Amino acid sequence: MLSWLAVLLAAVCVLSLGVNSWVLREHCLTTEIPSTISHPLKLWTLYYAFLLLVTWGEIFEMLGICTMFKFIRFLHDLLPIRKDPQVAVTNLRFGSVPVRLFQPKAPSSRPRRGIIFYHGGGSVFGSLDFYHNLCSFLARETDSVLLLVGYRKLPEYHSPIITKDCLNASIHFLKALDTYGVDPARVVLCGESIGGGAVAVTTQSLVGRPDLPRIRAQVLIYPVIQVVNLQLPSFRQNQNVPLLTGKFTARLMCRYMNIHRSWNRALLTGAFIPPEAWSKYKKWLSSDNIPKRFKTKTHQPCFPAPFNEAAYLEMKHLLDVENCPLLAEDEVIAQLPEAFVVSCENDILRDDALLYRKRLEDQGVPVTWHHAEDGFHGSVILFDKKHLSFPCSQEIMNAVVCYIKGI
């Protein structure tokens, strides 16, 4: 018996050593930490730990133990939740969507501002618990009633379930503002990453709804605004920058959009875009709309690649507005509320934020833009993680709080 245990222990040790060595080798060969990043070693180490957990999750998935997605969510939900004595927290369910309500305990002489928050995580990571501390901080610092939406995720749910869950939960909340003591004239939609994209889709979907209060403002923190042009300058410049690399971005997009990985090259090169569609959307999707200071003098790839009809049939849903809110018609964009847009210099999705900012401004929508020169994708969720936090994490959170308080 002891000999079998010894063999098992030795096998586990060898496997662990092999996994660590492989991840370290891949990490060292591919990861780039820009010089503008504060605490580069910290980011390097943090990303190495992330890759290690993802790799173990993939091993467990191959062994049939659990999916990589559930493994990572299980681990990040073990992080401690900070109970704020100034904020009352209530778990609710709006139909099939779990939500968490944060309400300041201090009495208020008038209805409070309302915030509806859609978390990030690429449809894989993130949860009510993982974003609890961030939302509690937002509710307290802005003296607002905040609703955190726990939309359904991979691997069971695909596009467009996130936007549908966010929209349905928001409508439910908007119809019951009196119940929660919220001023209907001061409701803000706020989201990070894929949650920022959900803000854009939801805000557009609510345009022209006379039965609901009009959204006062939208806050988009390094949002996913389009899944069509993956050859923008920021995609090429930051494809190896943590915490969101180009390879992982394409992988998540394929999984959420339910596209087989064999179409990855057609996705990256834009071969699925019909010529007539590109003629229509180029004015919004082209890298020509990116300010010169964000471009390098390196070779610009020919985009899109020659049209592949088979790829189009597989991926034509990427051109739907609910997956690409940047493509909404002008008359919809023109009716949107003012926006606060956050972009990060070292983020693969930086140019999504810049393109949406331009679309809004072109249609006369007031935009406040905050650009974090040392920022990177995912930095906001680290704002309260003490030794794992970065200067840009707190900087962005402070900017968001300041903007919302001004509403």
Cα separation of 209 and 151, whole Å? Answer: 23
Q: Is 288 known to be catalytic?
A: no
Closest CA to 340 of 213, 188, 170, 198: 188
Cα separation of 344 and 216, whole Å? Answer: 25
Q: Where are the beta strands (DSSP E) in 95-128?
A: 97-104, 112-118
Q: Which residues pair with 371 in a beta bridge?
A: 343
User: If DSSP codes are grouped into helix, strand and coil, which group holds residue 30?
Assistant: helix
**Alpha carbon 114 to chain centroid, angstroms:** 21
- Three-state SS string over 359-380 comes to HHHHCCCCEEEEEECCCCCCCH
Q: Is 362 known to be catalytic?
A: no
User: If DSSP codes are grouped into helix, strand and coil, which group holds residue 293?
Assistant: helix
The catalytic position among 144, 193, 205, 234 is 193
Closest CA to 216 of 362, 113, 143, 370: 113
Cα separation of 24 and 298, whole Å? Answer: 29
- The answer to whether the beta carbons of residues 189 and 146 sit under 8 Å apart is no
Cβ atoms within 10 Å, residue 134: 21
Cα separation of 278 and 265, whole Å? Answer: 18
Cα separation of 116 and 331, whole Å? Answer: 24
CA dist 11 to 3, 15, 18, 105, 406, Å? 12, 6, 10, 54, 59
Q: Is 377 known to be catalytic?
A: yes
The catalytic position among 127, 144, 165, 347 is 347
The catalytic position among 144, 377, 379, 393 is 377
Cα separation of 32 and 40, whole Å? Answer: 10
- The answer to whether the beta carbons of residues 233 and 290 sit under 8 Å apart is yes
Closest CA to 93 of 182, 193, 158, 165: 165
Q: Is the dihedral of CA 72, 68, 397, 115 positive or negative?
A: negative
- The answer to whether the beta carbons of residues 355 and 327 sit under 8 Å apart is no
Cα separation of 251 and 155, whole Å? Answer: 13
Q: Which residues are catalytic?
A: 193, 347, 377
